[in-house]
Chains A and B, each alone.
Chain A
Amino acid sequence: MAFGWLPGAVGDIAHGAATTILLIAVTTLAGTLLSILGAAGRRNGPALLRRAIAWYVEVMRNTPFLVQLFFIFFGLPSLGIRLDPILAAMLAMTLNMAAYTIEIVGAGLDAVPHGQTEAALALGLRPRQVFIKIVLPQALKIIYPALTSQIVIMMLESAVVSQIAVRELTYEADMLQARTFRSFETYFVVTLVYLLMSMALRRLLVTGGRRALGAGVS
């Protein structure tokens, strides 16, 4: 074991970690938004849309993320859609996360008592207002812990996007070990960085959620 290479590598590791954080931040926002639309569409949309969303969820949940990523990055160009590695990664992560969070958000929407909707309608709110102002906030509060776990899982999964040369944390580790020939030590250090990041992310989401939603997360 030798760690003499470490001081010179701090910059690269920090740069990779920053890209990983960017990826997960975009995925969290876009994925949550998409899953709110998906869960609402699955409940109130036309029959065809409901069926399509149900199939989308099944297909994404029963195939590996790595294959989805390759399909988007290598497969889509043959349809004329050519994406930057980082955009392809963001797209793949968002689509993958949404498949899981559509179910989670849906469970939250179902858990809000129907009387809440009726009361809001009786007060003269329009259906859209009822959804955005009454039902959705309560649903998000209920599902917040499950959403938090899913975000952390997605951050760990993002290590895979190094395979399409997105310069995130794992990619930087691959480059470092090729330079230093200290494979085990490099991956050991980077694994620790991931561990710290996942603990910090969980802590951040828990305190942030408690402040913004009053959600009872421990």
Chain B
Amino acid sequence: MIEFTLWDIIRNLLLAARWTVLLSLAAFIGGALVGMAVLFFRISENKWSRRLASGYIALFQGTPLLMQLFLMFFGLPMLGLRIEPWTAAVLGLTFFASAYLAEIWRSGVDALPLGQWDAGASLGLHYLQELRLIILPQAFAITRAPTVGFLVQLIKSTALTSIIGFEELVRTSNAINNATFEPFKVYGLVALIFFLMCFPLTQYARRLEQRAARH
């Protein structure tokens, strides 16, 4: 039997935490890109695109993330794609994030006075220019706090990818726990690592919120 010192446990957990960070970043960037596309549909003038985007958002917000990951993991091979846990995890979290980010940013677009659109149009800007130069910068600025808040939720959600077999922090901790039989220590340390990743972001989101409330 291999002996694990406390340092061995911490070192292995920290090594695994790199994958948690990487997955969070990949899913956040992917989610932001897909979320932008969903946002375009969601605020489009065409009724059917709006409905389509609303349906997309409702679907991801109305079903468990774990089910979404399972559907990715088992569904993509049916389309003939070879898929590893990493791919399923990134894709699943990307689509999950895109629905939430689109909805957050949509609330920012809705919060802007209609006069902003009118003013843009009267300056001779066409629709895409209006979005790029006037609407989206303001919408992103006022939704910065909930966007950071969602990043915290996304980091915590990466824990679920351990269930479809992706080797991140939680899956590694399960393996260590099976070897050491010290669940209290192991899961306590995992919780601590997640806390150290999330807490600064939570505080940052809170500061942004307070600053927005002052203005």
Is the beta-carbon distance between A71 and B70 smaller than 8 angstroms? no
Would A191 and B183 count as touching, CB distance under 8 A?
no
Task: Give chain B residues whose Cβ lies under 8 Å from the Cβ of A173.
Answer: 70
Q: With the chains together, A70 CA to B170 CA distance in Å?
A: 10
CA distance A162 to B8 in the complex (A): 30
**B133 interface residue per 8 A CB criterion:** no
Pair A66/B162 contact, Cβ less than 8 Å? yes
Specify the main secondary structure of chain A where it touches its partner.
helix
The answer to whether A58 touches B187 (Cβ under 8 A) is: no
Across the interface, do A59 and B66 meet the contact criterion of CB distance under 8 Å? Answer: no
Question: With an 8 A cutoff between CB atoms, is B191 at the interface?
Answer: yes
Please, which residues of chain B bring their CB within 8 A of the CB of A117? none
**For chain A residues 203-218, which have a beta carbon within 8 Å of chain B?**
none
Is A199 a contact partner of B62 (Cβ separation < 8 A)?
yes
CA distance A194 to B195 in the complex (A): 30
Q: Is A190's CB under 8 angstroms from B67's CB?
A: yes
**B170 pairs with A67, CB closer than 8 A:** yes
B204, CB-defined interface residue at 8 Å: no
Q: How distant is the Cα of A187 from the Cα of B77 in the complex, in angstroms?
A: 14
**B80 within 8 A of partner (CB):** no
Instruction: Kindly provide the distance from the CB of B54 to the nearest chain A CB, expressed in whole angstroms.
Output: 13
- Closest chain A residue, CB of each to CB of B194: A63
Cross-interface CB contact of A191 among B67, B163, B190, cutoff 8 Å: B67
Q: How far is the CB of A136 from chain B (nearest CB, A)?
A: 26
Among A10-18, A33-41, A152-160, which stretch is in contact with chain B?
Answer: A152-160
Interchain nearest-CB distance for B12 vs A (Å) = 16
**Also in contact, A66 and B159, with CB within 8 A (given A75-B183, A194-B67):** yes
Q: CA separation between A107 and B11, bound complex, in Å?
A: 41
Residues 178-215 of chain B, each 1 if its beta carbon lies under 8 Å from chain A, else 0: 00001110011011001100110010000000000000
Distance of A158 Cα from B177 Cα, bound (Å):
23
B residues 86-109 near A (Cβ < 8 Å) are none
Cβ contacts B118-131/A at 8 Å (1 or 0 each): 00000000000000
B152 is an interface residue with CB less than 8 A from chain A: yes
B46 within 8 A of partner (CB): no
Q: Is A61 an interface residue (CB 8 A)?
A: yes
Question: Looking across the interface, which residue of chain A has its beta carbon closest to that of B68?
Answer: A191
- On chain B, the number of residues with a Cβ less than 8 Å from chain A's Cβ atoms is 37
Task: Determine whether B156 belongs to the interface, using a CB cutoff of 8 Å to chain A.
Answer: yes
* Interchain CB contact under 8 A, A194 and B177: no
Q: What separation, in Å, do the CA atoms of A78 and B177 have in the docked complex?
A: 13
A19 at the interface (CB under 8 A from B): no
B156, B191, B198 interface centre (most CB from chain A within 10 Å): B191
Closest-by-CB residue of A relative to B163 is A163
B191 touches A195 (CB 8 A): no
Given contacts A65-B156, A159-B67, A184-B75, contact A78 B199 (CB under 8 A): no
8 Å CB interface, B36-94 against A: 59, 62-68, 70-71, 74-75, 78
With A67-B194, A184-B71 given, is the CB distance from A195 to B152 under 8 Å? no
B71 near A188 (CB under 8 angstroms)? Answer: yes
Q: When chains A and B are docked, how far (Å) is the Cα of A190 from the Cα of B62? A: 12
For chain B, residues 150 to 190, give those with C-beta under 8 angstroms from any C-beta of chain A.
Answer: 152, 156-160, 162-163, 170, 173-174, 177, 182-184, 187-188, 190
Residues of chain B having any CB pair with chain A under 8 Å:
59, 62-68, 70-71, 74-75, 78, 152, 156-160, 162-163, 170, 173-174, 177, 182-184, 187-188, 190-191, 194-195, 198-199, 202
A: residues with CB less than 8 A from B are 1, 58-59, 61-68, 70-71, 74-79, 152, 156-160, 162-163, 170, 173, 177, 183-184, 187-188, 190-191, 194-195, 198-199
The 4 closest A-B pairs by CB, nearest first: A74-B183, A64-B159, A159-B64, A62-B198
- 4 new A-B contacts, CB < 8 A, other than A170-B64, A173-B70, are A68-B191, A70-B170, A156-B65, A194-B64
